[in-house]
Amino acid sequence: MPEDLQQWIGPVLAIAVGLVVLTLRMRKMQRAHPLRVERLWMLPAFYGAVATALYVTHPPQGMVWIYALTALAAGLTLGWIRGKLMAIHVDPETHEVSQQGSRLAMLFIVALVILRFAARAFMGDGANVDPTVMFATTDVLLAFGFGFIGAQRLEMGMRARELLAEARARRDA
């Protein structure tokens, strides 16, 4: 197989898989899904435990702390925005809470994935990257991911609880 063709197979395959996943997610997004408000804390707690374990075993060095804290702030902000983009509904009769993703929320994730691919293309395949840079990148991405997931779940939980309280107040009135 020509070397030029081999260089293109990986990115083309990644784009094809990404498009299939995106198409399936867009179709699934059209339906409302139950939202278990009492379970929203679980994923951020698990992710936080993993991030903490990794930070303890390989603590960020020097300026990486600043970058990680900046990434955490960016993750918190963007996660809150994505949480706001999620539609949350409370059934007035049964008080069951459901969520439905919006196209804008999905495009938001697509933009983050494109940003990741761009960063990966900028850094190369990672074979010749200093391990210190790889650890620093991991530290920054962990902080961003924790902020993103935590803020999204927190915003959705707060809004769901508020909508549920309003529905109960209308029932009791």
23-78 tens-digit pLDDT: 777 777 777 888 899 999 999 999 999 999 989 988 888 899 999 999 999 999 99
100-134 tens-digit pLDDT: 877 777 777 777 677 766 766 666 655 566 777 77
Between these two residues, 166 and 27, which has the higher pLDDT value?
Answer: 166
Round to whole Å and give the CA distance between 51 and 64: 15
78-94 tens-digit pLDDT: 999 989 988 899 988 88
pLDDT band at residue 13 using 50, 70 and 90 as cut-offs: confident
* Cβ neighbours of residue 75 closer than 8 Å, sequence gap 6 or more: 143, 144, 145, 146, 147, 148, 149, 150, 151
Tell me how far CA of residue 159 lies from CA of 22, 54, 71, 82, 140, in angstroms: 27, 32, 25, 13, 29
pLDDT at residue number 127: 59
126-164 tens-digit pLDDT: 556 677 777 788 889 899 999 999 999 999 999 999 999
Please, are residues 151 and 79 in contact by the beta-carbon 8 Å criterion?
yes
